[in-house]
Amino acid sequence: MQLKNRTVLITGGASGIGLEFAKQLLAKQNTVIITGRNPEKLAKAKAQLPKLHAIRSDVSDITQVESLCVQVCRDFPDLDVLINNAGIMKTMNLHEERSLQDVTKEIETNLMGPIRMTQKFLPHLKKRPAAALVNVSSGLAFVPLPISPVYCATKAGLHSFTLSLRVQLAQTKVKVFEVAPPATETELLGDFNSPDMKGISIMKVDAMVEHSIRGIENDHYEIRPGQSNQLKFMSRLAPEFILNQMSKPVERMLKGGAARAS
């Protein structure tokens, strides 16, 4: 699907991968609308890219998803691409006490968010002559990194939802894409220390997004840049080995927890 002269809505577009998508899509003469929760981050993105349209909206809040849909479909009736990109990632020691609200926050943002956005925007997208839904999952959709157990469950869930959505929309003009980034240089990795990232190569965000846009333009429905491709391959070829490799940071986390408890 050509990404030129389109109208694109990107959730979580004020930083990282979403902002880079916005930048590269503006350069290709698209109209770009971004969302996010933090008004200061949105204003900063708008100052950096004045042609951007920025709307404050939280994908984990049903009312805000509903009002976003009304506002965007009214003000941007040519909307034809939705990029479900907003996401949060936590490291989580499941032995530790945590509120029930906090333990599922990633599910509300990373999984319920894209499902609700899809549900609300699909009727509009189906009316367009050509449209696309792009779900940003992760290489961790294929193999979990057990130090972030809920995050990885959300990404595996989003991968599964995207497969089903693609099947159900096969007879429509809405194409369904999945971008599964590898570790990419953004604020999201801020929680991780360098021993946890050992052996993981971190992709530059501009290269990751360039790869993804090229994939969408070539109708590659599951785009797995860099190490994400290896993760998918290894999850089929040697699932126990790769899970074992991904589990090493947990040993350090549990030792740290035990040290704090003693």
Ligand X SMILES: NC(=O)c1ccc[n+]([C@@H]2O[C@H](COP(=O)([O-])OP(=O)(O)OC[C@H]3O[C@@H](n4cnc5c(N)ncnc54)[C@H](OP(=O)(O)O)[C@@H]3O)[C@@H](O)[C@H]2O)c1
User: Can you tell me the distance from the alpha carbon of 199 to that of 217, in angstroms, rounded to the nearest whole number?
Assistant: 31
Nearest to 209 by CA among 189, 182, 169: 182
User: Can you tell me the distance from the alpha carbon of 172 to that of 145, in angstroms, rounded to the nearest whole number?
Assistant: 35
Q: Shortest gap between Cβ of 102 and ligand X (angstroms)?
A: 14
Given the residues 151, 161, 177, 192, the one annotated as active site: 151
Do 16 and 187 form a contact (C-beta atoms < 8 A)? yes
Task: Tell me which stretch binds ligand X (CB under 6 A): 84-92, 123-131, 217-225, 248-256.
Answer: 84-92
Identity of the residue numbered 133: L
- The residue among 102 and 126 lying less far from ligand X, judged by its C-beta, is 102
Encoded one letter per residue, x for contact with ligand X by CB under 6 A and - for no contact, window 94-113 reads: ---------------xx---
C-alpha dist (Å) from residue 117 to 9, 64, 123: 11, 10, 11
Task: Tell me which stretch binds ligand X (CB under 6 A): 24-32, 87-95, 209-217, 229-237.
Answer: 87-95
Nearest to 225 by CA among 177, 259, 191: 177
The reply on whether position 249 binds ligand X by CB under 6 A is no
User: Can you tell me the distance from the alpha carbon of 60 to that of 74, in angstroms, rounded to the nearest whole number?
Assistant: 22
CA atoms within 13 A on the CB side of 130: 8
- The residue among 125 and 188 lying less far from ligand X, judged by its C-beta, is 188
The reply on whether position 184 binds ligand X by CB under 6 A is yes
CA atoms within 13 A on the CB side of 223: 22
- The residue among 62 and 259 lying less far from ligand X, judged by its C-beta, is 62
Q: Is 221 a catalytic residue?
A: no
The reply on whether position 193 binds ligand X by CB under 6 A is no
The reply on whether position 226 binds ligand X by CB under 6 A is no
User: Can you tell me the distance from the alpha carbon of 134 to that of 221, in angstroms, rounded to the nearest whole number?
Assistant: 9
User: Can you tell me the distance from the alpha carbon of 86 to that of 109, in angstroms, rounded to the nearest whole number?
Assistant: 7
- H or E segment to which residue 23 belongs: helix 16-27
Near ligand X by CB under 6 A: residue from 12, 215, 225, 249: 12
Start-end of H helices in 139-183: 149-168
The reply on whether position 18 binds ligand X by CB under 6 A is yes
- The residue among 31 and 109 lying less far from ligand X, judged by its C-beta, is 109
Q: Shortest gap between Cβ of 187 and ligand X (angstroms)?
A: 4
Kindly identify the residues of this chain, within the stretch 33-72, that bind ligand X according to CB under 6 A: 35-38, 41, 58-60
Task: Tell me which stretch binds ligand X (CB under 6 A): 16-24, 122-130, 160-168, 192-200.
Answer: 16-24
| Matching residue, tokens 């909307």 | 79
Q: Shortest gap between Cβ of 101 and ligand X (angstroms)?
A: 14
- H or E segment to which residue 207 belongs: helix 205-217
Q: Shortest gap between Cβ of 189 and ligand X (angstroms)?
A: 5
Interface residues toward ligand X, by CB under 6 A? 11-12, 14-18, 35-38, 41, 58-60, 85-89, 109-110, 136, 138, 181, 183-184, 186-189
Active site residues: 151
